Structure 1
């Protein structure tokens, strides 16, 4: 892993982005890995390394840099959850999207890249990945248990690249009514594929997380790798 600095689009400062590179591959597509509410933490770094092991360049920007640079907390204690929710509630998602677009542009220019780049996001990052599908030129976007995605339905008509949604059937942060509205609202959108994973909670694919479900995570991750390979290679 190595760290680079990127200039924010609004010229308000620089933020860190962390890069994991595949071994022995001449040209690779890039995956912008979008953090949960816990920052670019150990779990997200493990996930980014897994993308590199699969032959992609992975780049994870520190989206909380305007609030507190370098956040790295887990889901294991109440204090960490309280801090994570505080950061999420103060986080400006529109500015976050601009930082992600900056990261996406940088990802396309990384040494060893092939010029193609997409996003994969988790939790808060899952929502941001869906927003990137409507607000950026990413080649592909993948959302894991994004919250409040039904609020974005009006934007989804503008999607012009594949968007994959991994949805937890028992997501405690995305009520069933909202999930139902989402599924109904995207039914006729050919760009979007949504998969609902039965019997699992939010963050079922979080490496080392308290709600990790090995079977659902394996299935979801396989679908993710297949789509990334199809689009980014």
Structure 2
């Protein structure tokens, strides 16, 4: 079953929407699916649906609600791609990652208090990959996975706070996260006992999208299988 719900923001006044996919029967755990810069679009909703089919309650919050609630964009449509870049610039200008951490914290609270599920993981893509890293640093989330997260190399100073397992998928030909940034991520995170990095030689940003021009099917299947095994281990 799927639905769109309203979740109370941490300020106690506002609410924001989230797409929820529920499994049949009692959920084995919960997974927060964190959007790219394209909003909670059909690809993100499909990822939620897939996790629900695997037995997880899955929730994709609208993290652009303060700027343009309900935006859904297609990265393969040039005008919509450029619109997404504009939203991301506005998001960066308002220090959106801090606001998003509050929203992810609010979703964790909703899952644990309203749904009664203690084990909560998150998986994010692009912008969401960075936020999955920050969730591992700044919240008590049970396990986190980031796909082609941007700007993580600039946030390595927070890695000492990672207390629960984190896995990052790193395509080596990522045109948004270059070789120097990747090298810094490996140098800063490989020694951390809670962190695992997987490289994907020759693959580019967005390789694990559900559909469209960016997807590399073999790479996506490999990364997704690793993610499924990771959650099965750490959300049990």
The equivalent residue for 1:22 is 23
What is the deviation of 1:110? 4.4
Compared CA separation, residues 79 and 52, structure 1 to 2 (3 A) = same
- 1:66-85 to structure 2, matched below 5 A, reads 66-85=66-85
In the alignment, which residue of structure 2 is the partner of 1:148?
Answer: 151
Give the C-alpha shift of residue 12 in structure 1: 5.1
Contact 1:39 1:73 in 2 (8 A): yes
1:114 counterpart SS class: coil
* Contact persistence 1:203–1:209 (CA under 8 A): no
Report matched runs for 1:1-233 at 5 Å: 1-11=2-12, 13-23=14-24, 25-91=25-91, 92-111=96-115, 114-233=117-236
State the alpha-carbon separation in 1 of the partners of residues 52 and 216 from structure 2: 22
Post-superposition CA distance 1:111-168 (Å, at most 9, x none)? 4x53210110001000000000000000000000001111111100110000000011
* 2:27–2:57 Cα contact (<8 Å) kept: no
How far apart, in 1, do the equivalents of 2:48 and 2:30 lie?
A: 11
CA distance in 1 between counterparts of 2:41 and 2:27 reads 27
Q: TM-score, normalised by structure 1?
A: 0.96
**Cα distance 1:114–1:100, how it changes in 2: closer, same or farther (>3 A)?**
closer
Residue 27 of structure 1: how far off its partner (Å)? 3.8
Aligned pairs, how many?
Answer: 231
Normalised by the size of structure 2, how large is the TM-score? 0.95
Separation (CA, whole Å) in 1 of partners of 2:26 and 2:12: 33
**CA 1:171–1:88 in 2, change beyond 3 Å: closer, same or farther?**
same
> CA contact under 8 A between 1:32 and 1:107: conserved in structure 2?
no
Distance in 1 between residues matched to 2:79 and 2:163, nearest whole Å: 41
Bigger CA drift: 115-124 or 8-17?
Answer: 8-17
